Amino acid sequence: MTTLALNNLWNYLQGLALSQSDREWLANNLLSNTSKEKLLAEERKKQFLQMAGSWANSAESEEYYQMLKHRSDGRPANRDISSFGK
């Protein structure tokens, strides 16, 4: 989200009449998604390093992991492969 969109969302949330329990619920749910994503990312990195074997202790392992992690950045997610090879 852009900064403008986040500011608009924040203004909207501030305008709601939320009880203390509603605010706690919202905060917990927002934070739980972040925690789940961090745990998933840590697990993926752990699996990658396990597959790398002794190479995982090298200086290049972090760089290679980041390269693999971002390998599809900028690629369209809905590529049409039906015309591939024609």
Residues 15-65 have pLDDT tens digits of 999 999 998 988 888 877 777 788 888 888 888 777 777 777 777 777 877
14-46 as b/e: b if 16+ CB within 10 A:
eeeeeeeeeeeeeeeeeeeeeeeeeeeeeeebe
d(CA 40, CA 13): 28
Averaged pLDDT for residues 1-28: 89
Residue 86, pLDDT above cutoff 60:
no
For residues 47 and 82, the model is more confident at 47
Query: Under a CB-based contact definition with an 8 Å cutoff, are residues 65 and 48 in contact?
Result: yes
Residue 80, pLDDT above cutoff 70:
no
Averaged pLDDT for residues 3-10: 89
